[in-house]
Amino acid sequence: MDPPDQTKQLAESLGLGFPLLSDTHRTLTKAYGLLDAENNVPWPAVYLISRSGRVVWRWLATSYKKRPSVDDLVTALSKLEVKLNQP
């Protein structure tokens, strides 16, 4: 995992309007059961968290080599936007 200053710089360079997690000590990685102990790396995971702190979508991998596609993320965000804007 990248240190906080590198993660912040990445978010800024990508123009993201939200922070990226930097878990250098793998505290959250272990708490969420995402550590691939054999390779000592976290399993890829994406959590979309609402402003209120609720996890509204998640994507979990079974291999550290897998990542969600941009299309997967855009689709998830689009569905959430519709769902969150419904009365």
And the tokens for 31?
């708490």
Q: For residues 56 and 80, what is the distance between their CA atoms, to the nearest angstrom?
A: 8
**81 vs 55, more confident:** 55
CATH number of the CATH domain containing 8: 3.40.30.10
Mean pLDDT of 20-39: 87
Mean pLDDT of 17-39: 87
Residue 51 has pLDDT above 60, yes or no: yes
Domain residues for the domain of 12 are 4-85
What total number of domains does the chain contain?
1
